[in-house]
Amino acid sequence: MQQMALWKRLLIWATIALGVVYAAPNAFYARVEGHNDAAKLFAEGAGLTAEQQAAYDAWPEFLPSTLMNLGLDLRGGAHLLAEVQVKDVYKTRMDGLWPGVRDALRDIRDQVGNVRREPSAPDELRIAISNPEGMQAAITAVAGLAQPISSLTGMGEKDITVSQDKGQILVRLSEAEQAATDSRTVQQSLEIVRRRIDEAGTREPSIQRQGTDRILIQVPGIGSAAELKEFIGKTAKLGFYPVVRITQNENDTPGPRNFLAPSLDEKGLFYVLEETPVVTGEELTNAAPSFDDNGTPSVNFQFNVTGARAFGEYTANNVGKPFAIVLDNEVISAPTINQAIPGGSGRITGNFTIEESTNLAVLLRAGALPAELTYLEERTVGPELGQDSIDAGMRAAVIGMIAVVAYMVASYGFFGAMASMALAINIVLMIALLNLIGATLTLPGIAGIVLTMGMAVDANVLIYERIREELRQGVNPARAIELGFEKALSAITDSNVTAILTAIIMYWIGSGPVRGFAVTLGLGIITSMFTAVYVTRLIIQTWMAWRRPKTIVV
């Protein structure tokens, strides 16, 4: 029997050793997890308590500490399916378009006369002019504000359509721009939700887009769906608005293009504000918790160049007047402008606790959700149920392993035991790969591992049956083993390639549990090919070189 080259044998043993080292932390999951949490705090410069230091020292620093991520069904946590109300953005777009339209029509006032915005649907902008004869000139001027659509599907088209309707100028988003806006809104909402959850320090959340306007949010380790909604459910729409007047009448009529907002701190106090903000949270580049001159918790903020210019111009032109800082339609602060603020930075003060100022800074720093999220489905998986799933999966895996080993030993004797050793190495390598690629193990993923156990010995069955055929034909044992591995290789490759293609297709068109199953199945096929073709052969060759048997029974 021809021996493998020395470098091949060393490479195989090194691969197995690395697999064991990288899979080992999962055998001490709680200990390593505590070490990782303490290490993260230490890296951030935070001082460690005695308990945290003990957790840090509980796992050797020189060993890998990467753990296999556990999905929601194994770890417990919160599950939300949210629908993005994409049409909310249309009204914001129309409100943002109005100042430019007004300025464009003022430039041709001698042709159009007086200009007035009329009540309209949220996704429309209607403008009336006092001189009907200037209607065409007005439409041309407004149409000049249209911009090319910056998406591949809308190449060559404009973002707005301008027409005449019932003696008024009607401005709407074009169909191509609506589609592009919807896509951007959902993507932006997804990224903002991801950033907010990441800011909260949760472990390995799963945040995916589903369909055209839905987001699936799964966060392992969080207490409840209500807690998750409380954190991400806020639109956190920040705006700086001109104050028209202050009132104590909650039924006060704000007037056209104004709205009424209650004070967050002073109950019974309401502000009538202009509907169009001076700047919004979208121009915000940074927000951080701080303390004001009196030592009270506050939030410092910084605008980008566009926001800083608008904020500076407004404060310069309105010294001595109040302006309101509004978060989610509540006035959190309404300071008086004492002087121009040209730098684009400022401070939000209020009756905050330290925790409230920190949470507010997180929300603002993560950005404003462009549209409201409506929750269609919410579910909480308790940690006890997750542990029950892990226990059930482990029992299934152990029972499957015992059944496979018993069959192989009963069918092939000592050679079946060697195949079982390769199977155990196969499981270790699969766990190590799950660690290295950062995949998340779910309950269907455990099913994929159990299925892999059965599929992994298929290759050994093919090899051993070929060896038996060669032995029946009178070939000596060493040569029979060599021919068995060579002649079975094509069948093993064909079956495993088709299985890998199946796993790829499941991952591509599937979602959630199907993807988890596909990942473990695909990795298991790769590792089982390696262990069946190389590891089993190396074990048999090592035994043959040691014992040099004259006959073998397979």
Whether 215 is in a domain gets the answer no
Residues 172 and 252 in one domain: no
Predicted confidence (pLDDT) at residue 202 exceeds the cutoff of 60:
no
Predicted confidence (pLDDT) at residue 306 exceeds the cutoff of 80:
no
pLDDT tens by residue, 17-37? 999 999 999 888 888 888 888
Write the DSSP string, 246-312: EES-TT----TTEEEEEBSSSTT-EEEEESS-SEEGGGEEEEEEEE-TTS-EEEEEEE-HHHHHHHH
Which among 180, 196, 225 is the end of a domain?
180
Per-residue confidence (pLDDT) for residue 359, from 0 to 100: 66
Residues 542 and 401 in one domain: yes
Per-residue confidence (pLDDT) for residue 400, from 0 to 100: 84
Per-residue confidence (pLDDT) for residue 182, from 0 to 100: 85
Q: What is the mean pLDDT of the chain?
A: 83
Per-residue confidence (pLDDT) for residue 157, from 0 to 100: 80
pTM over 0.75: no
Residues 342 and 394 in one domain: no
Per-residue confidence (pLDDT) for residue 178, from 0 to 100: 85
Per-residue confidence (pLDDT) for residue 200, from 0 to 100: 56
Whether 295 is in a domain gets the answer yes
Which among 180, 201, 217 is the end of a domain?
180
Q: Which domain holds residue 284?
A: 241-349
Contact 297, 356 (CB under 8 A): yes
Q: Which helix (H) or strand (E) holds 101?
A: helix 88-106
Residues 334 and 425 in one domain: no
Residues 389 and 445 in one domain: yes
Write the DSSP string, 432-468: HHHHHHTPEE-HHHHHHHHHHHHHHHHHHHHHHHHHH
Residues 330 and 393 in one domain: no
Which among 151, 180, 209 is the end of a domain?
180
Domains identified in the chain, total number: 3
Residues 245 and 289 in one domain: yes
Whether 307 is in a domain gets the answer yes
Question: Range with the lowest mean pLDDT among 258-272, 360-374, 386-400, 517-531?
Answer: 360-374
Whether 475 is in a domain gets the answer yes
Per-residue confidence (pLDDT) for residue 21, from 0 to 100: 93
Per-residue confidence (pLDDT) for residue 388, from 0 to 100: 78
How sure is the predictor about 406, in pLDDT bands with cuts at 50, 70 and 90? very high
pLDDT tens by residue, 468-502? 999 999 888 888 998 989 899 888 888 889 889 99
Whether 58 is in a domain gets the answer no
Query: What is the arithmetic mean of pLDDT over 261-280?
Result: 87
Whether 376 is in a domain gets the answer no
Whether 114 is in a domain gets the answer yes
Report the CATH number at residue 255.
Answer: 3.30.1360.200
Predicted confidence (pLDDT) at residue 405 exceeds the cutoff of 70:
yes
Residues 410 and 467 in one domain: yes
**What does residue 389 show for φ and ψ, rounded to 5 degrees?**
-65, -40
Question: Range with the lowest mean pLDDT among 168-177, 387-396, 421-430?
Answer: 387-396
Report the CATH number at residue 147.
Answer: 3.30.1360
Per-residue confidence (pLDDT) for residue 384, from 0 to 100: 66
Residues 290 and 146 in one domain: no
Whether 69 is in a domain gets the answer no
Residues 431 and 539 in one domain: yes
Residues 409 and 524 in one domain: yes
Report the CATH number at residue 495.
Answer: 1.20.1640.10
Per-residue confidence (pLDDT) for residue 155, from 0 to 100: 64
Query: What is the arithmetic mean of pLDDT over 188-192?
Result: 79
Contact 370, 68 (CB under 8 A): no
Residues 444 and 345 in one domain: no
Report the percentage of the chain scoring pLDDT > 90: 15
